[in-house]
Amino acid sequence: MANEEARWVAQASEGDAAAFRRLVDSHASALFRVCARITNDKALAEDAVQEAFFNAYRHLRDFDGRAAFSTWLHRIAVNAALEQVRKRSGRGETELPEGEEADDLLATSVEAIPGPDRRAQSAEIRRDIETELARMSTIERTAFVLRHHEGQSLEEISAVLSLSVNASKQAIFRAVRKLRGALEPVG
């Protein structure tokens, strides 16, 4: 797959639209997941992913292969998502989505057992997590999402966020500590 992807990147950088489409198809869902978790908003996530692919296409010739293409693309997408968050916060829009949209954006590790009590408790935990994620700094939330939802290594997170490995560790640690604090009364 890596060789195939490298071929698509080379072809796309030479203007092959079909090759770029293959890259889009292979990375779109992963980018949407990370952008949705960073922005906590489907529409903003879609805008961020679209902007990320647009920027990637415009700068494809700048991709030098020092990092994996997916890391390079994730960095562009994270930056686009962070920009969407900055734009939104500039307008004062900080409300969290509710209902199914919120459920789609942030899947928690709580197993839903049929029954109204368990569903109510799960919904309460989900709201607490969403609230705490929204309170975190953008760097903490992004580092947490990349590590615990996307499974990226500290080195990858550092590259995406342009931070040192230690700064990335600290951001993840602070995010986990805040989430634990928010969930402490439940546990």
Q: What are the pLDDT digits (tens) for 118-142?
A: 556 666 767 777 778 778 888 898 8
How much is the pTM? 0.61
| Contacts of 171 by beta carbon, 8 Å cutoff, 6+ apart | 137, 139, 140, 142, 143, 144, 161, 163
> Is residue 105 pLDDT above 50, yes or no?
no
Instruction: Answer yes or no: CATH 1.10.1740.10 is held by domain 1-95.
Output: yes
The number of angstroms, rounded, from the C-alpha of 102 to the middle of its chain's C-alpha atoms is 15
All structural domains of the chain with their residue ranges: 1-95, 96-187
| Contacts of 8 by beta carbon, 8 Å cutoff, 6+ apart | 19, 20, 22, 23
Rounded distance between C-alpha atoms, residue 187 and residue 43, angstroms? 33
Both structure tokens of 28? 């779109």
Would you identify the CATH topology of the domain 96-187?
Answer: Arc Repressor Mutant, subunit A (1.10.10)
Average pLDDT over residues 55-81: 87
Residue 161, pLDDT score: 86
pLDDT higher at 133 or 13: 13
Task: Name the range with the highest mean pLDDT among 36-50, 122-136, 138-152.
Answer: 36-50
Rounded distance between C-alpha atoms, residue 29 and residue 49, angstroms? 9
Residue 116, pLDDT score: 61
Least confident window among 65-74, 95-104, 106-115, 174-183: 106-115
Average pLDDT over residues 64-93: 81
Average pLDDT over residues 50-70: 87
